[in-house]
Amino acid sequence: MIEALSTAIEFRSAESGNHVRRIHDITRYLLLHTELGAGLSAEEIEQIALASIMHDIGKIAVPDAILNKPGKLTAEEYDVMKSHTVQGAKLLEKIPQLRENGAYHYARDIALHHHERYDGRGYPEGLQGDEISIWAQIVSLADAYDALSCKRVYKDAFPREKVLEMIRTGQCGIFNPKMLECFFAVEPELSKLYKAGEL
């Protein structure tokens, strides 16, 4: 069910298919190989990784003209784009079969909160600090890392050094300092996986 829904996103946006697979793998790696996964069972980690592929499911409700616009979005278009968080949570709530899946709780939370920011300047609810679940925070960081590292319809890929600088200096949002410490500790391995085509 979850894989089928994530496949639907691929038909809307050229980069989403590979993007969601990389988000899954980055999320899983961070949970398995850093202390961010402390206290979580192996089953919970797999459920969170699976749930992470649903983070952008709400983009199904965003018009193509906005979703695939090659240039900068207007303020009004950006508001529509931001609505994918709330739309994603609503969509997941409306699928009875999904509620029986162990990943549902994580998927809904991630879809709704993966654009929240540690300093409270994210959306849609302006959560801050530990008000944001660790899995939503991890997907947020994985999403930023992948978006900066890859070509999109609206931008080229940034060099790895620039990606790391932007994340470190908060140019793409403020992240949990402890999470950043864990991320930078394993990023060389994540980078190798990208180069090897394994992510």
Torsion of CA 90, 92, 94, 100, to 10 degrees: -140
Chain-centroid distance, C-alpha 185: 20
Quote the pLDDT of residue 21: 86
Q: Which residues contact 21 (CB under 8 A, 6 or more apart)?
A: 53, 199
Q: What one-character-per-residue DSSP string does 117-159 give?
A: -TTS--SSS---GGGS-HHHHHHHHHHHHHHHHS-BTTBPPPP
- pLDDT tens digits for 149-164? 987 766 788 999 999 9
Average pLDDT (106-119) is 97
Phi, psi of 24 (to 5 degrees): -55, -50
Question: What's the number of domains the chain is made of?
Answer: 1
d(CA 176, CA 78): 25
Range of the domain at 28: 2-196
Q: Which residues contact 189 (CB under 8 A, 6 or more apart)?
A: 29, 33
For residue 13, pLDDT over 90 is answered with no
Verify cis geometry, omega within 30 degrees of 0, for the bond prior to 96. no
The answer to whether 106 and 135 are in contact (CB under 8 A) is yes
Q: pTM higher than 0.75 for the full model?
A: yes
Quote the pLDDT of residue 150: 86
CATH number of the domain bearing residue 127: 1.10.3210.10
Q: Catalytic residue numbers?
A: 59
